[in-house]
């Protein structure tokens, strides 16, 4: 099958687009509603995101919202603290009980019939993408453009569930084991600032400090500038500086 420069370029492009859509829209938009967009663009970006073969926004958001509710407790389906590294990294979603969507977590999303349709036929976008790659570039383009890039995206996505709860630093005293990890932040376009995120999940940006690179946030600002998204929610200064937690500790001591 071999390799060629065009195949590598498509692999890199596929990786970058997939990571951005998963982090910017599957996570920050569908799961946490940190900004707003039109219904048409919501549908379009859903189809693009599903080409990464991580199922539909409904499935993704439902499981992620459950993770935040029960983070690092026994009910957290991918907690390395509770279930070990392997299960938290990829074992949890291979279980039959985690195949469905708990609609109680995504009542705001199931009102869109087009999203429900995509969830029902979640195999279609990646299948169409694979067919296009094969048609225009043959087996080599299919392998590098879809399979290699998809496996790479899988690993960095899963690492947020596993590695980001085991390796890194903790700026904020959250109730879970979330950690900030700079190299994961690079690979995932900003998701590696996981302790920041668990400290204030409703923020559209996860790199709270100027030196915390958050490529997804920068790209979302570009989309905002051209009018595709709006009302980006940012953390207030007292959240970043953790004065809320300091005031709580002072009150408890008094």
pLDDT digits (tens, 9 = 90+) for 150-163: 999 999 999 999 99
Write down the pLDDT at residue 247: 42
Task: Report residue 24 as tokens.
Answer: 């910017």
Write down the pLDDT at residue 252: 41
C-alpha angle 123/101/68, rounded to 5°? 120
57, pLDDT greater than 50 = yes
93, pLDDT greater than 80 = yes
- Average pLDDT over every residue of 94-118: 95
Q: What is the pTM of this model?
A: 0.93
Of 87-101, 132-146, 151-165, the range with the lowest mean pLDDT is 87-101
C-alpha angle 251/170/197, rounded to 5°? 90
CA 71 from centroid of its chain's CA atoms: 16
- Average pLDDT over every residue of 137-145: 97
DSSP 103: G
Task: Report residue 129 as tokens.
Answer: 């993408």
Question: Which among 132, 149, 115, 144 is positioned nearest to 17, based on CA atoms?
Answer: 149
CB contact set of 175 (below 8 Å; sequence gap of 6+):
71, 72
Contact 177, 163 (CB under 8 A): no
Of 72-86, 193-207, 231-245, the range with the lowest mean pLDDT is 231-245
pLDDT band for position 246 (cuts 50, 70, 90)? very low
> What are the tens digits of pLDDT across the range 10-38?
999 999 999 999 999 999 999 999 999 99
């Amino acid at each position: 099958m071999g390799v060629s420069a065009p195949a590598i370029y498509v692999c890199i492009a596929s990786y970058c687009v997939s990571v951005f859509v998963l982090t910017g829209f599957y996570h920050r938009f569908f799961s946490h509603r940190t900004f707003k967009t039109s219904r048409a663009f919501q549908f379009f970006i859903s189809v693009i995101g599903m080409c990464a073969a991580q199922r539909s926004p409904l499935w993704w958001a439902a499981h992620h919202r459950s993770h935040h509710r029960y983070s690092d407790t026994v009910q957290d389906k991918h907690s390395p603290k509770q279930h070990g590294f392997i299960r938290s990294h990829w074992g949890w979603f291979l279980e039959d009980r985690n195949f469905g969507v708990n609609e109680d977590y995504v009542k705001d999303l199931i009102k869109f019939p087009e999203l429900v349709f995509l969830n029902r036929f979640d195999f279609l976008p990646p299948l169409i993408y694979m067919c296009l790659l094969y048609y225009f570039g043959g087996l080599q383009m299919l392998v590098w453009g879809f399979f290699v890039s998809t496996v790479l995206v899988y690993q960095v996505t899963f690492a947020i569930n596993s590695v980001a709860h085991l390796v890194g630093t903790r700026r904020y005293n959250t109730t879970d084991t979330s950690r900030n990890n700079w190299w994961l932040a690079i690979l995932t376009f900003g998701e590696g600032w996981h302790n920041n995120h668990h400290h204030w999940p409703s923020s559209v940006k996860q790199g709270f400090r100027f030196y915390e690179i958050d490529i997804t946030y920068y790209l979302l600002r570009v989309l905002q500038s051209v009018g595709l998204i709006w009302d980006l929610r940012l953390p207030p200064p007292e959240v970043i500086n953790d004065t809320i937690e300091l005031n709580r500790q002072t009150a408890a001591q008094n």
